[in-house]
Chains A and B, each alone.
Chain A
Amino acid sequence: MPPRPAGRARRRQRLGGVAVHAAAYAVALLGAGPFLWSVITAVKLNRDLYDPAHNPLWFNAPPTADHLVYLWRHTAFATFAWNTLWIGAAVVAVTLLLATPTGYALARLRRPWAGHLGMAIFLCYLVPPSVLFLPLSRLVAAAGLQDSDWALVLVYPTLTVPVSVWLMMGFFGAIPAQVEEQALVDGCTRFAAFRRVALPLAVPGLAAVVVLSFVLCASEYLYAIAFISPTAGKVVSTGIPTELISGDLFYWQSLQGAVVLVAVPIAVVFNLLLKRFIAGFTAGAVTVG
């Protein structure tokens, strides 16, 4: 390849860098813009918020913490958040345990039924919960789990497992087969090949499954309404509307505050997770590949 003039290349690179920076920040703003505005709304006084002439993007009267205090003191926000958190974590664990091996088996173990089964599992996700919650409510009651958060731990994997199996199938399928075959030839058992070779390579996929499953749980609300009614057991997506939307009256500031207080910590944790996984993976890929 003929070497290009160094100056032009550098200039092009710099221009490209500026464009990439601009694009990245624009995308960030698109994602987080509504939340920034939520933050401002959350600390507005009523007389500031409920005046159509006021600038909705900035303060027209001093800010107030009253509505956040209300969220904290007069609603069980902390309880809801904790429930969402631990239920989500438990479901993620169950999902990983079920979906990772299944995804591997369907992608790698060359069973004749693998394709059909994979399709069948995926199809299971396609039935919407709008009606399914009725039969499930019987199951939950029969298991003695009505109004227990464990009901959600039992039921939520119906949302996460089918998609996660698929995701893992995709990730295991993308790992070059030779890598594992080499391990098998070297005398590894199939299980060892899965655990020592395929699994580490699929780590970004696992990260995606974790994020996906957790968010599916945190977003779900129909089952949460149907199965859990005590305040102490409610999750964010049912508890917050119950306490902050009284039909005719929305506690807009507290609601917006709750949105941000839920979104930011989850995003921070997932961000760390993604970074670790991606960094670890690129390092791993170089040595294994």
Chain B
Amino acid sequence: MGQHALAPRGRRVRDRDRALALLFVVPTVGYIAVLIVGPVVLAVAYAVSDVTVADPAFDWAGLANIEAVLADPVFWRSLLNTCVITVATTSLAVAGGNVVARLMLAPVHGRWLVRLCVLMPWVTPVTMSSVAWLWMLDSIYSPLDWAGRQFGLLGDGQSVNWLGRPSTAMASVVAVQAWRLTPLTAVIIMAGLVAIPRNIYEAARIDGAGRWLRTRFMTVPLTAPIVAVAALFCAVFTFGDMAVVRVLTNGGPTHATEVLATLAFRRGIDGGDVGQGAAVALFLLPVLLAATLTILGLVRRMVLR
């Protein structure tokens, strides 16, 4: 559309667009300002003060909390763990989600049942599904171990002890996160897939494009933004989640599965030192910001190519 040709009409449209945009945006921004930005500003203030729950007066503590956090090896361990869990979970859930989304759309007998089963891990409140997994991974009663013993993979009375060893504990956390988040990515991707207008495919097929070509040059670029959104959500939900770790391992063994969210809570609320808890929690921000920008950059490149 040329600027000149449509100038009078275009400006009117743009003015109306501006009014509508404000109308559409202002309520949300207002809500967010009051209920999120306000508290976040307070959280930043906690991090540079000596606030406790019982004594909420702000006394400037400078960077003492942040320095204490940076000097703490448990913090670095948690940061690393958080990143590892997030990357592993997101990769699994996005790869899985792509497959599951297509299977949910495939003409399969009993498709509604398949979809139902796939949805269940995600719709269960996370505290409850984690408790169910806690029993699944129990050191004595785990059915996984029982099966292992039946097949001779484990000796009599032996158990893998999933949550007691750093490697398997970490794997368990990732598995539960991926198990509960894959349905989410699948549903988002499925919505993206069905949103591709059929007629584009028809046209391409008539033009002689094979399945691979259609996938590569149509499905991938057309669904890339939505896949990226799914990945982003998955990353964010894993990164900030503390329920799974808190229920399954509470950070153990010896902080091998500690994540920033659990550490912030333990320091700030369980331990009573709100300032330090806030300092830990705020470290989630820059990391997430970096991750978000990376993912978005990738998407832009994918779409433009």
**Do B195 and A204 touch across chains, with their CB atoms under 8 A apart?**
yes
Given contacts A98-B27, A157-B31, A158-B36, are A130 and B265 in contact (CB under 8 A)? yes
The smallest beta-carbon distance between A249 and chain B, in angstroms, is 13
Interface hits, A198-247 → B, CB 8 Å: 201, 204-205, 207-208, 211-212, 214-215, 218-219, 221, 236-237, 240-241, 245
A6 at the interface (CB under 8 A from B): no
B25 x A131 contact (CB < 8 A): no
Q: Which residue of B lies closest to A226 (CB)?
A: B269
Kindly state whether residue A196 has any CB partner on chain B within 8 Å: no
Is A136 in contact with chain B by the CB < 8 A criterion? yes
Asked whether A78 is an interface residue with its Cβ less than 8 Å from the other chain, the reply is no
Verify if B141 is at the interface (C-beta below 8 Å from A).
Answer: yes
- Residue pair A267, B25 in contact (C-beta under 8 Å): no
CB contact under 8 A between A219 and B127, given known A126-B288, A201-B195:
yes
Chain A residue at minimal CB-CB distance from B303:
A173
> In the complex the two chains form, what is the Cα distance from A53 to B66 in whole Å?
51
CB of A281 closer than 8 Å to a CB of B = yes
**A171→B114 contact, CB < 8 A:** no
Query: Which residues of A have CB within 8 Å of B236?
Result: 125-126, 163
Main secondary structure of the interface of A (DSSP, over half): helix
Known contacts being A56-B143, A105-B25, A128-B264, is A286 close to B198, with CB within 8 Å?
Answer: yes
Q: Known contacts being A121-B28, A127-B40, is A286 close to B199, with CB within 8 Å?
A: yes
A241 to B246, CA, bound (A): 13
Q: What chain B residues lie within 8 Å of A162 (beta carbons)?
A: 32, 36
The answer to whether A28 and B114 touch (CB under 8 A), given A128-B264, A161-B28, is yes
The distance from the CB of B112 to the nearest CB of chain A, in whole angstroms, is: 6
The answer to whether the Cβ of B2 comes within 8 Å of any Cβ in the partner chain is no
For B125, what are the chain A residues with a Cβ–Cβ distance below 8 Å?
84, 218-219, 221, 236-237, 262
Interface SS majority for chain B = helix
Roughly how many angstroms separate A52 CA and B125 CA in the complex, as a whole number? 28
Q: Using a CB-CB cutoff of 8 Å, which residues 145-171 of chain B contact chain A?
A: 146-147, 157
Nearest CB of chain B from residue A52's CB, rounded to whole Å: 5
Chain B residues 250 to 303 lying within 8 A of chain A, measured CB to CB, are 260-261, 264-265, 268-269, 274, 277-278, 281-282, 284-285, 288-289, 292
Interface bin, chain B: 35 or more
Partner pick for A190 among B13, B187, B222, CB 8 A cutoff: B13
B39 to chain A, nearest CB (A): 4
Q: Which residues from 233 to 289 on chain A have a C-beta closer than 8 Å to any C-beta of chain B?
A: 236-237, 240-241, 245, 250, 252, 255-256, 258-259, 262-264, 266-268, 270-271, 274-275, 278, 281-282, 285-286, 289
Chain A interface residues toward B at CB < 8 A: 1, 20-21, 23-25, 27-32, 34-35, 37-38, 41, 49-50, 52, 55-57, 84, 98-99, 101-102, 104-106, 109-111, 114, 117, 119, 121-132, 134-136, 139, 154-155, 157-158, 161-163, 165-167, 170-171, 173-176, 184, 189-191, 194, 201, 204-205, 207-208, 211-212, 214-215, 218-219, 221, 236-237, 240-241, 245, 250, 252, 255-256, 258-259, 262-264, 266-268, 270-271, 274-275, 278, 281-282, 285-286, 289
Offer 15 A-B interface pairs, CB within 8 angstroms, sorted by A: A31-B117, A31-B120, A34-B136, A52-B141, A52-B157, A109-B18, A109-B21, A121-B29, A131-B269, A131-B278, A135-B43, A173-B225, A204-B191, A262-B125, A263-B124
